[in-house]
Structure 1
């Protein structure tokens, strides 16, 4: 994980963070998420995060089950804060950056701010285990995860680097597969809010098995 800062607990993270609402985007602790930033308000958010010195952005999904304006959607109550660990300028006004996940958070309240981007007061303590790398790895059913991954790849005519998968620790494997999975906001939120790594893997397996079963029984294409 390419990150210079070490966060050993909630006290080392700011209580108020900028948030980036993005449907279908799942960031998990120690996972890497590429982002293409082009809206002026989020370009300003990135600039401010460097100016403030923390380089932290909270990724959070809009909650589409609630009616809201397109410009200011209702947010889910749980997101994940990430640190900007790579940034490049595109030459046409965009930032190409990578976030590395640090910890999930619970939204306490949204702040009234002058910035064009939204900011929230958050609580990291409900997810204190996120600060311990590879927590709960031994409880993950790796065989079940790899079996359903194999079925998914076959059904979608996809190939992967199996050597890399076999070498990956359980935490990295589960979180990477969850983040890259093609499922919708509700499924992504369920994986985000899973109480532990074992449960996240079980949710991923269950959702994938349902997708594969649907394809087999109805002839529908798999989720894309």
Structure 2
């Protein structure tokens, strides 16, 4: 979903952003994440974001953080998205879409009176995220498509191959990464990849390991 605002410089992004911690969630630059928002604290977050710069940080709870489910520690890197779609459901929920803008590093979590959490965010390490298509010519598209075919075949899934063939490398890599069924650590590795080529390579490697593990489990069950 296209945004009406295009960010050209890191300085255009807010230094303090609200964050939405969500396990195994992955938002990437120019990727789209639909959210069904129903908790009061996140309804308040959306209300305030709409009144301000419409920027929300998606971030994972730290998988090593322990058992504090109400306020888990956060990983150090997330992705800021802009609210590009909003609808009320009539039963107290919001249906929203976040379109990824750029990754950020958490400098510190702030002490705030809002029911949702806020962090001081540094975008300096991720300036390249603002450039559409940056590094996509370096992606091994054939390896990516082969792995995708193998995964679909192993799981008896269909795909829109016409749409896949038309998709630019950036859109393809990021959409597949965001839709992948992997866990928090794999999702975080995909987020933190140095560039698009590295992200594609991680996606291929993780998918191949998953396929090999599934094949090994199937062989064991037949013995």
TM-score range for the pair, normalised by the shorter chain length: over 0.9
- 1:75 correspondence with 2:74: yes
Aligned to 2:18: 18
Q: Give the secondary-structure state (helix, strand or coil) at the position aligned to 1:219.
A: helix
Cα deviation per residue 1:18-51 (whole Å; 9 max; x = unaligned)? 0000001000000000000000000000000111
Give 1:151-190 correspondences, 5 Å limit: 151-190=150-189
Q: Give the secondary-structure state (helix, strand or coil) at the position aligned to 2:28.
A: coil
Give 1:46-195 correspondences, 5 Å limit: 46-52=46-52, 54-195=53-194
Q: TM-score, normalised by structure 1?
A: 0.96
**How far did residue 138 of structure 1 move?**
0.8
Distance in 2 (CA, whole Å) between partners of 1:82 and 1:218 is: 38
Per the alignment, do residues 68 and 216 of structure 1 end up closer, same or farther by CA in structure 2, a change over 3 Å counting? Answer: closer
**How far did residue 66 of structure 1 move?**
2.0
- Gapped runs of 5+ residues in structure 1? none
Aligned Cα RMSD in Å? 0.9
Distance in 2 (CA, whole Å) between partners of 1:58 and 1:156 is: 33
Aligned to 2:36: 36
Cα deviation per residue 1:85-119 (whole Å; 9 max; x = unaligned)? 00110110000010000000000000010000000
Aligned to 1:208: 207
Distance in 2 (CA, whole Å) between partners of 1:113 and 1:68 is: 22
Distance in 2 (CA, whole Å) between partners of 1:106 and 1:114 is: 22
User: Would you say how many aligned residue pairs link Structure 1 and Structure 2?
Assistant: 219
Q: TM-score, normalised by structure 2?
A: 0.97
Distance in 2 (CA, whole Å) between partners of 1:50 and 1:184 is: 30
Q: Give the secondary-structure state (helix, strand or coil) at the position aligned to 1:128.
A: helix
> Is the Cα–Cα contact under 8 Å of residues 87 and 95 in structure 1 kept in the other structure?
yes
Q: Give the secondary-structure state (helix, strand or coil) at the position aligned to 1:212.
A: helix
Q: Give the secondary-structure state (helix, strand or coil) at the position aligned to 1:135.
A: coil
